[in-house]
Amino acid sequence: MATDLPSLMQNVVAPLVKIVLLIGGLMTAAAYFVLLERWMAAWVQDRRGPNRVGIPLTRIKLLGLGQPLADGIKFITKEEYTPAHVDKPIYILAPIVILAAALAIFAVIPFGSVLPPIPGIPGLDKEPIPLLVAPGLDPSLVFVFALSSIAVFPVILGGWASNNKYSFLGGLRSSAQLIAYEIPLGLGILGVALVSGSIRLDKVIVDQAASGVWNAFLQPLGLLVFVVAAFAEAARLPFDLPEAEQELIGGYHTEYAGLKLLLFLVAEFLHMITAAFLIVILFFGGWHLWGLTGFSEESISWAQALLRIAVLSAKVFLVILFFMMVRWSWPRFRFDQLMALAWKVLLPLGLVNLVVVAVMVEYGGTLKSQFGGGVYWIFAISGWLALIAAWVVAALVSPSHDDNTPRRAAQKFDTEAEFYRTF
Amino acid sequence: MQLFLPILMFVAASTVLAGGLLFLGGLIGPSRAGKVKEMPYESGMDPIHDTRRRFDVRFHLVAIAFLIFDVELLFLYPWAVASRNPQGIDAAVSAGLIGSRGLVFAEVIVFIALLALGFVYALRKGVFQWR
């Protein structure tokens, strides 16, 4: 690696600045999304949310905007308690790993398009600056997958190390849930990879911007599968079994308190933000908006660069609002329903989407020479037909009223010894 | 190396942040231990039995099913990326490495059909049935 000033600026200083900006922004965003979520809950339940905390020692309330700051200070001044019955190293490691993994995913997620070159700064004055910490990493979606799989480990490690039955059950449940929904997640992304010919997130956006057709229009079935799986991976409400309060106290973080608990909670919000970013980038064109943002990455003005950041953020914000609305709209699944949805519904639907998209991509070139731009209409219509057909078939094969019938009467055992004798 | 340096920096920064927060909390927060405080929290009941005992084999089954399907998916990724990439299948066909595009497509469809067959088998065997 060359060590002259321009390359040092380009390879070390610029990424460092981006990292600091991103981590600061994400932590602040996570804190304020908690406030937003509470406001949302208040709005849905027709009550006032947190609206008291403003500037301390005055009567200025600022609509409660001081709440996240107050919560943070409260968390830091709480006792950093480690119970005596836990496996100490693993118990302390788990929250660190989950937060580090949740943050590090953003190394490959673009948070804008590019900035124009800044004259006067060596190394940054020639080429546009990508708004991405690790630009040029080809298999960036593989990196996202790897880190989101790592998120399973702290959950099960924390649940195991806590040495508490509820934590243990929560850890088991969530590991089963997270790995079960990883498969539909991968299937949803396969369709996008096929259309773009790349699993680089910035390239996926540029592709959609160049054609002006977002993937959501062409493969709604893939979007459906991906969104449902993303909800489950982020453990948001219809799928929040890992910490179903009514059944498991706090789930895998029952024994955690103070800042260790904070790390788990922040990581959970970061998972939701990641899911929102991925949904927007893969299916809703990232920073692209027709007639506003253009599609070239080579020549770009400052106004356009900022506009693209604004468009991307606005889309992500809308998706997060959707996440929060869903939380107050659906009741939680039962565990067998959860597993049935992953394996019996989403997996076949994902396969159907994959085949439909594969056929479209394979014969799209031939069709394009005949129909020109009209080929997108053919793609979109077949995509939507696939969605409707798959939905109808899924509804006929496993009707929703079937889903709620009482479970087969479980065998009853009088003593524990009797239970173990059956093995 | 230059490609992965920012990622390493990011991972290091986020680990330091997480560890630093915990350290800060340990410095600032109070510290009082107690007999009852050190018990596992089970909603006020005194815990009975050890936590580490046998658990349900169904979780194992889910893990096995996951492994199978996830690996099969991983096989599909290279094809999905190469399918439309200019340096992908088309380049290989014009270089004479593969017979034709249609052959690759047919092979992939056969692969997906086998995957679907395996899925139907597992479904009929009741692997996905959570009893």
DSSP annotation string for A276-319: HHHHHHHHS-TT--TTTS-S-SSS--HHHHHHHHHHHHHHHHHH
Calculate how close chain A gets to B94, using CA atoms only, in Å: 16
Residue A160 has pLDDT above 90, yes or no: no
Measured at the CA of A9, the angle between CA A6 and CA A14, to 5 degrees, comes to: 145
Same domain? For A71 and A218 the reply is no
Residues of B within 8 A of A336 (CB-CB) are: 130-131
Instruction: Assess if residue A242 is contained within a domain.
Output: yes
Do A47 and A117 have their domain in common? no
A108 found inside a domain = yes
In which band, very low, low, confident or very high, does the pLDDT at A148 lie, cut at 50, 70 and 90?
A: confident
**Domain total for chain A?**
2
Shortest Cα distance from A390 to chain B (angstroms)?
15
Verify whether the Cβ–Cβ distance B6 to A103 is below 8 Å.
Answer: no
User: How high is the mean pLDDT of chain B?
Assistant: 82
What are the phi and psi torsion angles at A289 (to 5°)?
-145, 130
Q: Which member of A18, A85, A99 has the closest CB to residue B38?
A: A85
Question: Closest residue of A to B59, CA-based?
Answer: A176
Mean pLDDT, residues A245-271: 82
Do residue A116 and residue A265 come from a single domain?
yes
pTM here? 0.89
Interface test with B, best of A362, A366, A393, A420 (most B CBs within 10 A): A362
Tally of helices (H runs) and strands (E runs) in chain A: 18, 2
Residues A214/A282, Cβ–Cβ less than 8 Å: no
Report ipTM for this prediction. Answer: 0.88
CB contact under 8 A, B65 and A343: yes
Give the whole-angstrom CA distance, residue A389 versus residue A356.
Answer: 12
CB neighbour class for A9 (10 Å; exposed up to 12, middle 13-18, buried from 19):
middle
Question: In whole angstroms, what is the distance from residue B82 CA to residue A208 CA?
Answer: 18
Quick one: A49 and A100 in the same domain?
no
The answer to whether the Cβ–Cβ distance between B14 and A194 falls below 8 Å is no
Average pLDDT over chain A reads 83
Q: Chain A residues with CB inside 8 Å of B101's CB?
A: 362
Which chain B residues have a beta carbon less than 8 Å from that of A76? 21, 24-25, 28-29
Of A379, A395, A26, A421, the closest CA to residue A195 belongs to: A379
DSSP H or E segment with residue A24: helix A14-44
Residues in chain B with CB shorter than 8 Å from the CB of A354 are 76, 112
Residues A158 and A18 in one domain: no
What number of other Cβ atoms are within 10 A of residue B8's Cβ? 14
CA dist., res. A280 & res. A276, Å (int): 6
Which residues are paired to A115 by β-bridges?
A129
Look at residue B71 and tell me whether its pLDDT is greater than 90: no
pLDDT on residue A383: 87
- B121 in the Ramachandran plot: left (φ > 0), alpha (ψ -120 to 50) or beta? alpha
* A170-208 pLDDT per residue, tens: 888 888 888 888 899 988 888 898 888 888 888 888 888
- SS3 (DSSP) at A114: strand
Whether B106 contacts chain A with CB within 8 A? no
**Residue B81 at interface with chain A, using a CB cutoff of 8 Å:** yes
Q: Do A344 and B131 touch (CB under 8 A)?
A: no
Segments of A129-224 assigned E as strands: 129-130
Contact B30 A172 (CB under 8 A): no
If one counts every other C-beta atom within 10 angstroms of the C-beta of residue A295, the result is: 17
Same domain? A21 vs A111 = no
What percentage of chain A reaches a pLDDT higher than 70?
A: 90
Residue A224's pLDDT is 92
Residues of chain A in contact with residue B105, where contact means CB-CB under 8 angstroms, are: 358, 362
Domain shared by A43 and A188, yes or no: no
Helix axes A220-233, A258-283, angle to 10 degrees: 170
**Within a domain: A423:** no
By the CB < 8 Å criterion, does A195 face chain B?
yes
Residue by residue, DSSP assigns A339-396 as HHIIIIIIHHHHHHHHHHHHHHHHHHHHHHHHHGGGHHHHHHHHHHHHHHHHHHHHHH
What pLDDT is stored for residue B55 in this prediction? 75
A418 domain residue, yes or no: no
Distance CA A231, CA A177 (A): 11
Q: Does B13 touch chain A (CB under 8 A)?
A: yes
Q: How many CB atoms lie within 10 A of CB A409?
A: 6
Would you state the pLDDT for residue A415?
Answer: 67
Examine the domain organization and report whether A23 and A56 are in the same domain.
Answer: yes
The 3-state DSSP class for residue A413 equals coil
Residue A64 CB partners (closer than 8 Å, separation 6+): A35, A39, A49, A50, A51, A52, A53, A54
Residue of B nearest to A347 (CA): B119
Mind telling me how many Å the CA of A231 is from chain B's nearest CA? 18
Place of tokens 């479970």: A407
Please enumerate in sequence order all residues whose Cβ is within 8 A of that of A324, keeping only pairs 6 or more positions apart, or say none: A36, A37, A40
* Residue A8 lies inside a defined structural domain of this protein: no
The residue range of the domain holding A311 is: 79-399
| Count, residues in chain B | 131
Q: What is the pLDDT of residues B15-67, one digit of tens each?
A: 999 888 888 888 887 877 777 777 777 777 777 777 777 777 778 888 888 88
Determine phi and psi for A114, rounding to 5 degrees.
Answer: -135, 160
Instruction: Tell me the backbone φ, ψ of residue A257, rounded to 5 degrees.
Output: -145, 165
d(CA A344, CA A245): 27
Task: Tell me the pLDDT band of B101, cut-offs 50, 70 and 90.
Answer: confident
Domain match, A33 and A93 both: no
A174 plus A140 within the same structural domain = yes
Q: What average pLDDT does range A154-171 have in this prediction?
A: 84
Q: What pLDDT is attached to residue B90?
A: 79
Angle at A262 between CA A257 and CA A265, to 5 degrees: 115
In a domain, A412, yes or no: no
Residue B25's contacts (CB-CB under 8 Å, 6 or more residues apart) are A75, A76, A78, A80, A258, A259, A260
Give the pLDDT band of residue A279 (cuts 50, 70, 90).
very high
SS3 at position B3: coil
* Residue A408, in any domain of the structure: no
Q: Do B4 and A176 touch (CB under 8 A)?
A: no
Determine contact: A12 vs chain B, CB below 8 A. Answer: yes
A237 and A96 together in one domain? yes
Degrees to nearest 5, angle at CA B28 with B20 and A166: 75
Whether A50 and A132 map to the same domain: the answer is no
The pLDDT tens digits of the residues spanning A6-16 come to 777 777 888 88
Q: Is A330 helix (H, G, I), strand (E, B) or coil?
A: coil
- pLDDT, tens digit, for every residue of A368-384? 777 777 778 888 888 89
